[in-house]
């Protein structure tokens, strides 16, 4: 009986890594970055300790930016298929993320994808921007109301609007 329990425990322990590997590994920001690295044979530059810094700042600033992740690819030479890139990002981010912007230049060298995800009072933003031989991937969490207030401060008003007020 003891041997049977041991064998079952070993099988269960082996099932977890096999399941993770079969499902494509990481998801979210890290999954997108890792998939880009593998598919296009490039290496992402990351800012050391950015996750820790973001965590500390997010806890101390009520309206601050938190959950900041940045990856930059330099010398990104391979052409990207816009549809394939969009599908890959959607798959790695998961169904809770909604794409709000997809812009692709005529020959696919410049591409921008922006996804949003509600996080309670906050809003998660995921941005992938490819321009020339550079590709930047950013994920951040922001307070939507505070962001709207800040954007409102920089809106331009026409002269006629000011007279009507």
What are the residue ranges spanned by the domains of the chain?
Answer: 25-164
Q: Are 58 and 133 in contact (CB under 8 A)?
A: no
Q: How many residues does the chain have?
A: 165
Residue 82 CB neighbour total at 10 angstroms: 17
- 17-24 average pLDDT score: 38
pLDDT for 35: 95
What percent of the chain is modeled with pLDDT above 90?
Answer: 37
149 or 41, which is more confident? 41
- 31-60 average pLDDT score: 81
Supply 8's token pair: 């079952």
pLDDT for 17: 40
Task: Indicate if the pLDDT at residue 5 is higher than 80.
Answer: no
pTM: 0.71
Task: Indicate if the pLDDT at residue 61 is higher than 60.
Answer: no
Q: Give which of 125, 88, 83, 89 is closest to 104, Cα–Cα.
A: 83
């Amino acid at each position: 009986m003891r041997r049977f329990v041991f064998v079952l425990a070993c099988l269960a322990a082996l099932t977890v890594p096999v399941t993770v590997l079969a499902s494509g590994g990481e998801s979210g920001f890290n999954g997108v970055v890792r998939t880009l690295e593998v598919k296009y044979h490039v290496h992402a530059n990351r800012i050391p300790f950015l996750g820790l810094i973001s965590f500390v700042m997010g806890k101390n600033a009520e309206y601050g930016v938190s959950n900041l992740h940045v990856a930059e690819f330099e010398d990104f030479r391979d052409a990207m298929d816009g549809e394939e890139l969009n599908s890959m990002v959607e798959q790695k981010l998961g169904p809770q993320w909604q794409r709000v912007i997809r812009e692709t230049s005529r020959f696919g060298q410049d591409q921008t994808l922006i996804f949003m995800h509600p996080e309670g009072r906050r809003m998660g933003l995921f941005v992938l921007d490819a321009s020339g031989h550079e590709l930047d991937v950013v994920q951040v969490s922001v307070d939507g109301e505070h962001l709207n207030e800040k954007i409102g401060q920089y809106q331009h008003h026409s002269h006629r609007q000011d007279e009507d007020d």
